[in-house]
Structure 1
Amino acid sequence: MASVIPLSMLVAFIGMKFFGLSANLMSLGAIDFGLIVDGAVVMIENFISRMNEEGPRGKPKIDIIKRSAMEVARPITFGVVIIIAVYLPIFTLEGLESRMFRPMALTVCCALIGALVLTMTFVPALGSLTLKPYHHEGHEKLLKAMQAGYRRHLNRILNMRWLTIGSALVIVLVAVGSMRYLGTEFMPQLDEGALLIETRRLPSISLSESVEIATMVEKVVKTFPEVDTVVTKIGRPDLATEAMGVYQGDVYVILKPIEEWTGVRTKEALIQKMDQKLKDIPGVVYNFTQPLAMRLDEVISGVKADVAVKLFGDDPTVLEREAKRIETVLRRVGGSADVQTEMLSGSGEMQIEVKRDEMARYGLRVQDVKDIVEIAIGGGVATEIVDGRKKFDVIVRLPEASRKDLNIIQSLLVPAPGGERVLLGQIASIRFAEGPEVINREDAQRRIVIQANVRGRDIGSFVAEAQNRVDEQIKLPAGYFITWGGEFENQQRAMKRLYIVVPLSLCFIFLLLYMTFNSFVHASLIIINVPFALVGGVAALWLRGLNLSLSTAVGFIALFGVAVLNGVVMVSHINRLREEGYNLRESILEGASARLRPVLMTALVASLGFIPMALSTAPGAEVQRPLATVVIGGLITSTLLTLLVLPILYELISQKIEPAIQSILGGRKSYQTDLSDEPAVDGKLDSASNQDDVLNLTEIPEKQAGEENESTKS
C-alpha cells in the first residue's frame, strides 16, 4: 500500500512538468499522502476480508483477488473522481488567490489520478503476490472486538433514530451558526523573519535632515537584541515604478531566529516595543509591516498597509479636512495600528492671486503677469554664448535671496500696453504659504488615502466595524465619496466566486453519485454527509484560534471529498448485501461493521498525513496550518457521524421514502426491504419465516413479478 505513494508522486511530478509548475511550498506542501492511499486502503482491506472468509474454503487466491477488486472498483473510482471534482472550484479563482492555490490543486489532481490507476492495476497485482491467503485469529481479535461493540451500539442507536438524528442536526446547526463568529481574513500572515518600517516625515524636509533622522531610527532599532541587521533606504527616483520623495524611507530589519530572542517571544510584542521607543523621535510617522506583505498590499490596493480608505473629491483642502476626520474614527476602532493620512500639503510655495479689476484698468492680461514672474523666479533665456561648436543659453533671474523676499517680488514691474510700467503688488496679491506636495489621482479623480494596519484581531471584523462607524459618523459633502481597499477585497472576491462555484461543484458530485448508485435517494444520502464534516472543521478552528480564510475554504473543499468517499464505501457495501439477500436491518449492521476498518483507516491515514502541516512552525506554514486543521477536525466528526448517523438515515430513507419512490417508478430497483426493525436470524433472508414481513421489489417488469417471486421461493 505504501508503494502507491512514491509512484503517485512520480505521476504528480510528470504532471507538474507538463503544466510548467515549479516545486514549491504551495504546489507540494498541501499534498496529503493519506489522501493518495485512500483507494488502496479500501482495495487491500477488501482483499484481506475476502481472503479471511474464502481462503480457508480452498478457493484460489487469484480468484479471490479478482472478485474483491471488482467489488470495490466502481466505488473507489467514483470516490476518487469525486475527490478530484471537489477541487474544481479552486481552478475558477482569479488573481493572487489563483496563483497561490491553483498549483496545489493541479498537483493533487495529478497525484490522485496516478493513485487511482495504480490502485486498479498495481495494487491487485502486488496483492496477489504478497498477501497471505489464510486468516490468523490472533491478528483479528482487536478488530472483531471493535466490530462487535460497534454493531451492538449501532443496533441500539437504530432503535432510537429520531433522538440521534435530532442531536446530529442540532450539532450541525450550532457549527454553521458559530461560523459567523469566527474571524475572517484573506490569507494568514506569513512570518517572513524580517520587518519593514516605513517612515514618513514632512514633505518639506531636506535630504540631509532626512538622513540624520534615518540614522537615529537605525540606532534605536539596533538596540533590540532580537535584531540582526538594519538597512535604510531613503527616497526613490522618479524613473522607478513607484517614486518616493526624500521625506519617505524604508527601514529593513532582519531578525534573528526566534529561538535566540530574549526580550519578547512574539513579533507583535516586538513591534509594540519598537513603536514605543521610536515615538521619542519627533516629526516621524511609522508603519510596521513585512517586506513581502508590504509589496502584496501595494499590489492589491496601492497602499502599503492592511486597510486603505480612499477618499475622492475635487478640492485638496476639503480632502485633507475630511481625511483627518476619518483618521480620527479609525483610531477609535479596536485593533487599529499605524493609522495615518497621506500627506498632501507641506511644501512651501508662492501664491499669486491677480486682481482682475486693476489689470483691466491697465489693459493687462494674466499671461503678462505670468511671464514676468516666470522670468524673475524661474529664469528666462536672455542670449546665447558660443564655445567652439557648442552653444549655451544664458538664463537671467533674480538672486536666491531676492526670490525669497516678498517685498522685492511685489516691486517687479509689469509693462502695460500703454507703455507704462505697473508694480506687481498693485495688480496681484502675493503671499508665501504651504501647498500640496503631491496630487494623487485614481481613475482621473483626485484622492487622498487614510491607511491602517490591524493587530490583535482579524481584518474582516475590523473592516466591518470601521465601515459602520465611518458611515454613521462621517457625512461627506456632495461630490465626495469613499472606497475601501486592502487584502479583504481579494477575500470578498474569492468568496463570492466560491459561493457560486462550490454549489455547482456539489451538483456535479451529486451527478457522479447518481451514476455510482443509479439511485437519486442514495446519492442524496451521501450528499447529506457533507454538512457533518463542517462540525469538526469549525470546532478545530475555534480550539486553535484560527480565522476563516481562503486557506480554510480550500481545506473544507478537500474535506468534503474525503467525507463523500467514506459514505460511498459504506453505502455501496450495504447495497451489495441487500442484493445478496440480507434484510434491511441486517444489511445495515453487517455492512457498517464490515466497513468499520476501511472507514477508520482512510480517516486515520488522511488525518496523519495532515498532522505535519497542522503542527509545523517552519516559514510558510501559516498558510498550510488552517487548511490542515480543518481537514483533521472535519475528518474526526465526519467519520463518527458517518458511522452513526448515515446508517440511521439509510434505514429511514429505505423504509419511508424508497418504497414510495419505487412504487411511482414501477419497481425499477430490487432490494429486500425489511419493514420490521428486527435483524434476520442468521444474516440471510429466511423466506419462510420472514416472507410476511418482507416487501420484495424486483428489477424485472411488473408482468413477470409473480413468476420471479415463485422462483425465488422455490
Structure 2
Amino acid sequence: MLERIVSFSIKNRLLVVFGVLLVAALGVRAAKQLPIDAVPDVTNVQVQVLTTAPALGPLEVEQFITFPVEAVMSGLPRVEQIRSVSRFGLSAVTVVLEEGTDIYWARQLVSERLAAAREAIPSGYGSPALGPTTSGLGEIYQFDVRGDPMCAPGTDSPDCYSPMELRTILDWYVAFQLRAVRGVVEVNTFGGELKTYQVSVDPNRLSALGLSLEAVFHALERNNANAGGAYIARAGEQALIRGEGLVQNLDDIRGIVVTTRSDGTPIRIVDLGSVDLAPQVRQGAVTRDGKGEAVVGIAMMLIGENSREVAGAVRAKIDEIRPTLPKGVTIDAFYDRTELVDRTIRTVATNLIEGGALVIVVLLLLLGNFRGGLLVASAIPLSMLAAFIGMRTLGVSGNLMSLGALDFGLIVDGSVVVVENAVRHLAERRSRGGDVPAEVRASATQVVRPVTFAVAIIMIVYIPILVLEGIEGKMFRPMAITVVLALAASLVLALTWMPAVASWVFRKGVSEKETWLVRMLSLMYEPLLRRAVARPRLTAGLAAGAFLASLAAIPFLGAEFVPRLDEGTIAIQSIRLPSVSLEQSIEMNARMEKALLERFPDEVTTVVSKTGRAEIATDPMGVDVSDVYVMLHPRDRWRRAKDQAGLVAEMEKVLRDEVPGQNYSFSQPIELRTNELISGFRSDVAISVYGQDMTELKQIGDRIVSVLREVPGAADVKAEQVAGQPYVRVIVDRKRIGRYGVDTQSVLDAVAALGGHPVGEVFEGQQRFTLQVRLDEKTRSDVDALGRIPIAAPGGALVPLSQLAEIKVEQGPAQVSRERVQRRLTVEANVRGRRVGVSICQNPPSPRYAAAELGSSAAREPSRGGRPTQLGRDSPRRRLRRAQLRLRRGAHRRLTPSRTPTSTARAR
C-alpha cells in the first residue's frame, strides 16, 4: 500500500504538486480564520445565575434567594458543582456542569429551572437572570469615558461633566452601539453614578402635615402613567385615543398632589421634601491614576469567538463613535487584549522562524546538498498550513500552547530520511546508470515503512494527552492535536511530495559527499561507538545510572500546572475591613494609584482600580475589595526591577509602607479571572472549610492562616472575610403593631425608603430612569432619626417607628459563601519564589502540629467530604493529591459530628 502511494506520486507529479498547492492555499485561508488568543480558554462549562435585591443583607439574600436557586438547580443533569456568594443586595450562583456539555444546552436547562426559582423567591426580593455567555478570557477591551472639564466631587453644573452624565452617555449611547459588534455578548458598565429621579422626603414634614410614606408612594404611582382608549370613528376615518399623564421633568414631579386639606389647600410633593436627579445606591466605583472617579466600559466576548478579531472590531467601532460624542467627551482605552495576543503571537512566530531557520541550516550542513536541503525544508511550512486546516475544522485556537508546541525537528524527520536515501541512490546511479524516477522510487520504497512506523510512534506518544479531561484537557489537548496534525501532514508529504519533487529537482543527477561537519562528527563518534560496543555492560550500567539519577532529581524540580504567561499587566487585589465605606475605599485607591505612578514612573503607564461590583455582577465583590490593574511599560524601560517577580516585590514593599491598612494579593488579569471562574478562588492554593456556624468557621480559618504563613513560598495568605459588617437591625414588635393596628409591610416600606423605594420610571425619549422615594440625607445618617419616621395607623394617626420596632446596631456577616449546599469559608494563598507543587508537597504542615494549632477538637474525626480539583493524571497530580490528603489529615478536621464543618485543599 505504501509503495503504491510512492509510485503513484512519482508517476503523477503534476497532480501531487497541484494537490499540495491547493492544500497550502486552504491552509493560508484557515490561518486567517483561525481563532487567535494568548492562552487556551480553560474555563469550565458553567452558567451564572445573578439576582439583584438592593434592600437585602447577606443573610436574607442567602435565605430568600440563594438557597431557593440552589435547590432547583441541584437536580439538573450533568451538574458537577453548585457554588454561590450572597452579599448585600446580590446573589450569585454558579452552576458548573461536566466537561463536554454544550454551553447553550446548559443555559437552556438552567433557564427552564429559573421559573421554579422565581416562584420560590418572595415577591419584591428580585428576579434571577442568567449571566452573559462569556468565559475567563471574555473581558477583551476596557475603556473609560472622560469629560473635560470634570465637575468637582459633590457639584453639578452645566459647564462640566459629572460621573452621572458620563454614565448615562456610556449606558445609553456607547454601550448600545458596541453591543451590536459581532462577537460582543455584553458591554458591562463599572463606576460612575446611575441616574435616578429622586424624591427625598423629610419625616418631620410628613409628621407636621399628618402624612405617611404610603401616601407619597400612592400619589407618585397614580400620577405617572399613559393610557390608550382605542379609537373614534369619524367621517370614514379612525382617530386613535391617547391619554398622556407621564411626568416629563422634575417640575412635573414636584407639582404632584399628595392630598388636599379640608380647606382645599393641596399638599404637593415639593412640600414634603426635595426632588432632584440623584445617583442610585451603588456598590462599586472605578478610579484611575489618582485623579478621581472614572466611568468604565468592559466589552465582553461571546464564548468561542476570536478575541483578536472581536477586540479589533470593538476598537474600530469606538473610533467611529468618538467623533459623535458630545463636546469634551472622549473614550480612552486602557486594556486591549489585542496587544497581549499580538505580543504572544510575535513571540511564537519569532521562535518558529528561528527554529525553522536553524533546522534548514542544519539540514544544509548535514545533507551537503542545497537542493535537497530546501526540498526537506519545504515540509515545515506545508505541514504547518495543513495543520491549520485541521485546527480550524476541530475548533482549536492558535495560542501559546498550540502553536508553541510545534517541533520542526520532528516534522522533517521523515522527509530527511526519504531525501537523504534518494541522494545516495542517485549518486550510485552515476556509476551504473539508470532512470532518475526509478531510482527515486526504489530509494523511497526502501525507507517508506520505517519512516511511517517512526512517525506513527511519535504520534502515539501524544495519545495520553488527547484523552485528558477537565481543565488539564483544555490546556494540553490543543497542543497534542496540533502536533499530531503537523506530524500526520509531514508523513503524507514524506510519502508523496518528497518523492515526486525529488524526481524532478534531481533529474540532472546528484553527487553524494560528506560535509566537513559530518566528517568532524564522525571522527568523534566512531571511536566512542567502538568503545561502547566493546564494553556493553559498562555502557548499560552508565545508562541505567543516568536514568536513576534523573528519577532522583524529580522531587526537587517542582511542579507548575502551566508556565506563567507574562501578560504585561499586574492585577493587585487590595482587601480592607468589611465595614469600610465605598468613599473610604475610593480614597485609599487614589493614594495607592498615586504611589505606584510616582514611585515607578519607568515601569507603570496607568493604574485603574475597580472597587466592588459592576452593573452586571459577574464578579461579586464587596466595596472592601478592589481589583487594581497596573499597566506596564515595555520591559526594556524598567529600572527598579529586571523581571515581573522583582517588580511585584518592590510594589508590595511600597504599598505596605505608603498605604497601610490593606492586604495585597498580586496576580495578572487573565490569570485572576480564570482562577475565579474555574474554582471560585483567586489564588494559587485554596483551603475550604465547610459548616453552618459562621463564627466557628471564622475561628478555624484564622488558625489555618497562622499555619500557612509558616510554609516557605506561601504569600498573600488571607482568610475570606465573613464577619465584621455593621448592621442596623429594625426588628418589628408584633405586639406593638397589633396594638396600633399597623401591618408589618407598612414598617418595612419605611425601612426600604432608606435605600430608595421605586415608584415608577421617567422617560427621556428612548432613555428611561427610575423614579424613587428616599428619606432625606439627615435621616439616613442618624440612627436616632430612624425612630422618628412616621408610620400611618388606621384612622389617620401617625406612630413613630421606634414605637413599632426595636432598632439596634450589631455586627454580622459581610458575605456568605456556599458550596455543596452548605456554607464555606476559604483560606487562600499565592506561591512566590517557589513552584506550586514544591510548596504544597514538600512543606505541608505536620498533622500533629496543625492539629495542635487548630485546637484539641480539631483532631476528633477525619474529614471525608473533601474533593480535590483535577490537575492532570501525571505525577504532579499524584503529588498534589498526597499533599491534600496530608493537609486534610492535619490542618482540616471535622470539629464535631453535630456541626460537621469539613475542609478541602485546592490548588492550581
Normalized against structure 1, the TM-score is what? 0.58
Structure 1 or 2, whichever has the larger Rg, is 1
Please name the residue that 2:711 is paired with. Answer: 333
In structure 1, C-alpha distance between the alignment counterparts of 2:811 and 2:750, rounded to whole Å: 21
Please name the residue that 2:854 is paired with. Answer: 474
- Which residues in structure 2 correspond to 1:279-290 (within 5 Å)? 279=656, 280-290=658-668
SS at match of 2:560: coil
Output one character per residue of 1:474-511: Cα deviation in whole Å (capped at 9) or x when no partner: 356579969889xx944345668999xxxxxxxxxxxx
In structure 2, C-alpha distance between the alignment counterparts of 1:273 and 1:331, rounded to whole Å: 20
Verify the 8 A CA contact 2:732 2:747 in the aligned structure 1: no
In structure 2, C-alpha distance between the alignment counterparts of 1:368 and 1:315, rounded to whole Å: 35
SS at match of 1:244: coil
Please name the residue that 1:20 is paired with. Answer: 395
Output one character per residue of 1:66-119: Cα deviation in whole Å (capped at 9) or x when no partner: 222111110001111112221222221223333333333223222222221221
Please name the residue that 2:553 is paired with. Answer: 178
Identify if the C-alpha distance between structure 1 residues 307 and 55 changes in structure 2 by more than 3 Å, giving closer, same or farther. Answer: same
In structure 1, C-alpha distance between the alignment counterparts of 2:635 and 2:781, rounded to whole Å: 59
- Which residues in structure 2 correspond to 1:517-556 (within 5 Å)? none
Which of 783, 799, 808 aligns to 1:404? It is 783
Unmatched segments (≥5 aa) in structure 2: 1-375, 761-770, 794-800, 880-906
Identify if the C-alpha distance between structure 1 residues 177 and 213 changes in structure 2 by more than 3 Å, giving closer, same or farther. Answer: same
Please name the residue that 1:644 is paired with. Answer: none
Please name the residue that 1:305 is paired with. Answer: 683
Please name the residue that 2:474 is paired with. Answer: 99
Which of 444, 448, 451 aligns to 1:73? It is 448
Verify the 8 A CA contact 2:816 2:823 in the aligned structure 1: yes
Which amino acid is the alignment partner of residue 587 of structure 2? E
Which amino acid is the alignment partner of residue 628 of structure 2? V
Output one character per residue of 1:645-701: Cα deviation in whole Å (capped at 9) or x when no partner: xxxxxxxxxxxxxxxxxxxxxxxxxxxxxxxxxxxxxxxxxxxxxxxxxxxxxxxxx
Give the structure with the larger helix fraction: 1
CA-based RMSD: 4.5
Per-residue deviation, 1:195: 0.8
Identify if the C-alpha distance between structure 1 residues 404 and 35 changes in structure 2 by more than 3 Å, giving closer, same or farther. Answer: same
Verify the 8 A CA contact 1:51 1:61 in the aligned structure 2: yes
Identify if the C-alpha distance between structure 1 residues 24 and 350 changes in structure 2 by more than 3 Å, giving closer, same or farther. Answer: closer
Give the structure with the larger strand fraction: 2
- Which residues in structure 2 correspond to 1:231-246 (within 5 Å)? 231-237=608-614, 239-246=616-623
Which of 292, 311, 316 aligns to 2:694? It is 316
Verify the 8 A CA contact 2:586 2:611 in the aligned structure 1: yes
In structure 1, C-alpha distance between the alignment counterparts of 2:670 and 2:436, rounded to whole Å: 59
Residue 266 in 1 paired to residue 643 in 2? yes
In structure 1, C-alpha distance between the alignment counterparts of 2:442 and 2:652, rounded to whole Å: 70
Output one character per residue of 1:25-68: Cα deviation in whole Å (capped at 9) or x when no partner: 33333222222111011112222333444542334444432222
Verify the 8 A CA contact 1:311 1:482 in the aligned structure 2: no
Please name the residue that 2:836 is paired with. Answer: 459
In structure 2, C-alpha distance between the alignment counterparts of 1:25 and 1:393, rounded to whole Å: 51
Output one character per residue of 1:394-429: Cα deviation in whole Å (capped at 9) or x when no partner: 9999x94897349979xx99x9xxxxxxx999x999
Please name the residue that 1:4 is paired with. Answer: 379
Verify the 8 A CA contact 1:56 1:135 in the aligned structure 2: no
Please name the residue that 2:871 is paired with. Answer: 491
- Which residues in structure 2 correspond to 1:350-499 (within 5 Å)? 350=728, 400=779, 404-405=783-784, 432-465=809-842, 467-469=844-846, 471-472=850-851, 473-474=853-854, 477=858, 489-492=869-872
Which of 345, 362, 365 aligns to 2:723? It is 345
Verify the 8 A CA contact 1:311 1:449 in the aligned structure 2: yes
Identify if the C-alpha distance between structure 1 residues 216 and 60 changes in structure 2 by more than 3 Å, giving closer, same or farther. Answer: same
In structure 1, C-alpha distance between the alignment counterparts of 2:787 and 2:718, rounded to whole Å: 39
Which of 180, 188, 196 aligns to 2:571? It is 196
In structure 1, C-alpha distance between the alignment counterparts of 2:440 and 2:670, rounded to whole Å: 54
Q: Which moved more, 1:94-103 or 1:252-261?
A: 94-103
Which amino acid is the alignment partner of residue 491 of structure 1? L
Verify the 8 A CA contact 1:402 1:408 in the aligned structure 2: no
Please name the residue that 2:655 is paired with. Answer: 278
Which amino acid is the alignment partner of residue 633 of structure 2? K
Verify the 8 A CA contact 1:12 1:114 in the aligned structure 2: yes
Identify if the C-alpha distance between structure 1 residues 50 and 148 changes in structure 2 by more than 3 Å, giving closer, same or farther. Answer: farther
Please name the residue that 1:256 is paired with. Answer: 633
Identify if the C-alpha distance between structure 1 residues 289 and 354 changes in structure 2 by more than 3 Å, giving closer, same or farther. Answer: same
SS at match of 2:711: coil
Verify the 8 A CA contact 1:238 1:244 in the aligned structure 2: no
Per-residue deviation, 1:197: 1.3
Per-residue deviation, 1:170: 0.7
Verify the 8 A CA contact 2:425 2:439 in the aligned structure 1: yes
Please name the residue that 2:535 is paired with. Answer: 160
Output one character per residue of 1:163-212: Cα deviation in whole Å (capped at 9) or x when no partner: 11111111111112211221101111111111111122222222222211
Verify the 8 A CA contact 2:787 2:807 in the aligned structure 1: no
Which amino acid is the alignment partner of residue 404 of structure 1? V
Which amino acid is the alignment partner of residue 292 of structure 1? I
Identify if the C-alpha distance between structure 1 residues 318 and 482 changes in structure 2 by more than 3 Å, giving closer, same or farther. Answer: farther
Per-residue deviation, 1:270: 1.6
Identify if the C-alpha distance between structure 1 residues 352 and 332 changes in structure 2 by more than 3 Å, giving closer, same or farther. Answer: farther
SS at match of 2:573: strand
Residue 41 in 1 paired to residue 413 in 2? no
Identify if the C-alpha distance between structure 1 residues 350 and 114 changes in structure 2 by more than 3 Å, giving closer, same or farther. Answer: closer
In structure 2, C-alpha distance between the alignment counterparts of 1:401 and 1:74, rounded to whole Å: 85
Please name the residue that 2:670 is paired with. Answer: 292
Identify if the C-alpha distance between structure 1 residues 287 and 393 changes in structure 2 by more than 3 Å, giving closer, same or farther. Answer: closer
SS at match of 1:453: strand
Identify if the C-alpha distance between structure 1 residues 136 and 39 changes in structure 2 by more than 3 Å, giving closer, same or farther. Answer: closer
